[in-house]
Chain A
Amino acid sequence: MKEAEKRTKGFAYKARRLLTNNAVSILFVVIGVLGLRVSGLSLPFFFEDIVNRLARNSFMVLSLIIPVMAGLGLNFAIVLGAMAGQAAIIVVTHWKLGGIGGILLSTMLAFPLAVLLGIMTGRLLNRARGKEMITTLILGFFSNGIYQLVFLLLVGSVIPMKNDVLVLSSGVGLRTSIDLTGGLKNGLDDLLRVPFPLCAVLVGVILLLVTVIRLFVKKETHPKSRLIGWGVLGLALLGWGAFHVYTRSMFNFVRVPVSTFLIVLGLCYFITFFTRTKLGQDMRTVGQDRHIAEVAGIDSDRVRIIAMVMSTVLASMGQIIFLQNLGTFSTYGSHEQAGMFAIAALLIGGASVAKATIGQALLGTLLFHTMFIVSPLAGRTLFGDAQLGEFFRAFVAYGIIGLSLALHSWKKQMQAREEARKSE
């Protein structure tokens, strides 16, 4: 009797913790589902959009994880990485290169620039300790000015560039939007595209295989319920996919850019691997307590710079993936919101200033973009005005960042007060 009571208490406690810890994500699942109902979108159409958007933005959101680990908070300066990527894309487009070769070349071109920008950002942040986030935020605005200076004024006047398609008719400065059609557009995505149901079948099979191997060959028993859960999910995907392949439903027109998802998967694997290396562990230590790190002989300044360099380089690749998927971009605007949207997505996934995981990044991207797709449509159905839905979208993006920053700071203040009370 007592035992049972304890267990129910334990369960209630667990449930409550699950709810409070994931309140933000749960709220957005609700908003997303309601919005989807109200917007009246058909499911295949929605899937097509969301799959595309996941391929587009996941990499960028994942690039935020490493600085969080190193205690630098949310890196608004991934805007700099995005600029490096965008600059490389402009160069490659100018050379009229396209396809996967063009993508690789632009990644290579962006790399040294991103490393340099990352080092500079890291050094700046070492001077602005305790004010990292506001500094990266302002740095993003500042570098946007430099970017405009280069591409609006110097190109054509100081930097020689002749290109009727890219450069304004006055011969100075780039046009405000650049079309990548026939060039880099879908250079990575088109490498391997698979219909959505078939994709589900494949993923389902892989999940099932892994579960079976771990259960029966390796005989892992530790988190058994979780393993079985994955197996069930795999089976469900397999069944669902097979049904739709067989019935040739609308879902078959949704073609998943598998190549891009493989790259994203590779990054996930890299981040997991990296956290286990010596450098990754050092980063964790610096993030948790700089003084302990110094005592342990870790050069925290250096580690922080490395974290910024990694984040900036990843962001430059992220922007290249983003733009090749989108196929067209606003020369002076696309990078600007990259940082804010990525951060909002990460936070919606349940991450905080001090902790962010791969799962949170991917879930956040999914939820954020669901909201992105449905809110203008929902706004039109509910208020008769799509504009209102867009205002709502902006409000949520800004609001979620503000709220999460405020909650984090408040929690820290309460902890400090608690400690002060204890020591007294």
Chain B
Amino acid sequence: MQNGSDKQKTASFFDPIQRVIRSFGLPRIIIILFLLSLWVAAAFLSIPFPALLSDTFIRLGMNTVLTLSMLPAILVGTGLFFGLPLGIICGLLGGVMSIELNLKGLTAFFAAIGFSIPLATLVGYGYGLLLNKVKGSEMTVGTYVGFAFVSLMSFGWVTLPFKNPEMAWAIGKGIRVTVSLEGRFSNVLNKLWAFEVYGIRFPTGAIVFLGFLCFLMWLFLRTRTGLSLQECGMNPKFAKASGIDVDRMRIVGTIMSTILGAIGILAYAQGFGFLQLYEAPMYMGFIAAAAILIGGATLKTAKISHVLIGTFLFQGILVVALPVANTVATLGSLAEISRIIVSNGIILYALAQKGGNE
């Protein structure tokens, strides 16, 4: 169907409709309809709506920063940031260090961010150098560099000299697969200034935190560096001609994405209550990529609004799918399966779009 309409450009009755669908994006329509139908189903099954909305807000606070990490990479022209596990691991290292130093509360959270930023800058710089060598295959190379780094760090989690018994296995050496943040920085942002209206809990701190990061990003994109960064993504040849050091800008974009990935996983962990080590970061890049694409981004263009809308829609679906599926039948795995299908489906759709060829 799609093939035919692209090849022969004959006018047809359906053209205007197709144009509307194309401009808004068929998958986005499907996803919004899917979310709406899930909400309707939830209403019929009398699943408490305020609880669902509260959960959606909490998930928004957890995931938006991770999604935001896709933005600089897309804008600078390196495509979807499948190297996200690199940033995530830097964030996790920051978190582990903060526990090792026995910090608690907001101090622990911001100390973790403080530790992870220099790490992420370093890793992002190296990764940026690599990406400059592999122009045109950033996403494929990035995916496997990410995977390889995750398995390399599995060595690290076993052998790094962290001493805090909270994180250690009862027997054997190394850090646990999941480290509890209870009494550390679990929910510190969610509880900050939180209030409740009509049974809807609003995690003000987490939302303010992500709003602040989005604002910083918005500000950055209007600076001189930010503008030349976007120029590199839109038209690298023109950017080069107008005196912009494209390779340097690509490194700047990659470092920013890596840092946001590190901050993102800490924001995620504070909402989730655990640091997930070892192989957990492996597939997180695909989820963040799917979220920004659902919001309306493509492989070459993205806005902050895409980050927010996309994360809301995607997480909204995940939040509602689980209780709905559980009520209809004992189909607990439906939520997980729909996550796999939706996230990878939307990435496939973006890849199959015309243009964006290197």
Contacts and interface: CB of A to CB of B under 8 A. Distances in A.
A398 B344 contact: no
Contacts of A134: 82, 139-140, 143, 351
Contact of A398 (B151, B347, B358): B151
Contacts of A157: 329
Contacts of A133: 137, 140
Majority secondary structure, A binding face: helix
A6 B172 CA distance: 61
Contacts of A126: 3
B155 A395 contact: yes
B154 A138 contact: no
Given A131-B357, A153-B334, A409-B136, A145 B344 contact: yes
A153 B337 contact: yes
Interface string A370-387: 000000000000000101
Interface in B300-342: 329-331, 333-334, 336-338, 340-341
Interface stretch (A217-225, A235-243, A400-408): A400-408
B109 interface: no
A39 interface: no
B23 interface: no
A399 B148 contact: yes
A396 to B, nearest CB: 9
A360 B155 CA distance: 30
Contacts of A137: 140, 143
Interface stretch (B8-16, B87-95, B127-135, B262-270): B127-135
A128 interface: yes
B135 A409 contact: yes
A40 interface: no
A148 interface: yes
B133 A406 contact: yes
Interface size class of A (residues with CB under 8 A): 35 or more
Contact of A141 (B140, B151, B338, B340): B340
Majority secondary structure, B binding face: helix
A388 B174 CA distance: 11
A135 B333 contact: no
B345 interface: yes
Nearest to A301: B3
Interface in B128-169: 130, 133-137, 139-141, 143-145, 147-148, 150-152, 154-155, 158
Contacts of B143: 134, 137, 402
Contact of B337 (A152, A387, A401, A402): A152
Contact of B147 (A123, A398, A413): A398
B115 interface: no
Contacts of B357: 129-131
B148 A398 contact: yes
A146 B158 CA distance: 35
Contact of A388 (B155, B330, B348): B155
For A128, A146, A406, the residue with the greatest tally of chain B CB atoms inside 10 Å of its CB is A406
A159 interface: no
B2 interface: yes
B286 interface: yes
A145 B340 contact: yes
B352 interface: yes
Given A388-B158, A402-B144, A148 B135 contact: no
10 contacts: A130-B136, A131-B351, A135-B348, A137-B143, A141-B286, A145-B337, A149-B337, A153-B331, A385-B172, A398-B144
Interface of B: 2-3, 6, 82, 130, 133-137, 139-141, 143-145, 147-148, 150-152, 154-155, 158, 172-173, 286, 329-331, 333-334, 336-338, 340-341, 344-345, 347-348, 351-354, 356-358
The 7 closest A-B CB pairs, nearest first, are A402-B144, A145-B340, A142-B344, A145-B341, A398-B147, A409-B134, A395-B151
Interface of A: 123-124, 126-131, 133-135, 137-139, 141-142, 144-146, 148-149, 152-153, 157, 170, 172-173, 385, 387-388, 391-392, 394-395, 398-399, 401-402, 405-406, 408-410, 412-413
Given A134-B351, A145-B340, A145-B344, 6 more contacts: A131-B351, A131-B356, A141-B286, A157-B329, A172-B330, A405-B134
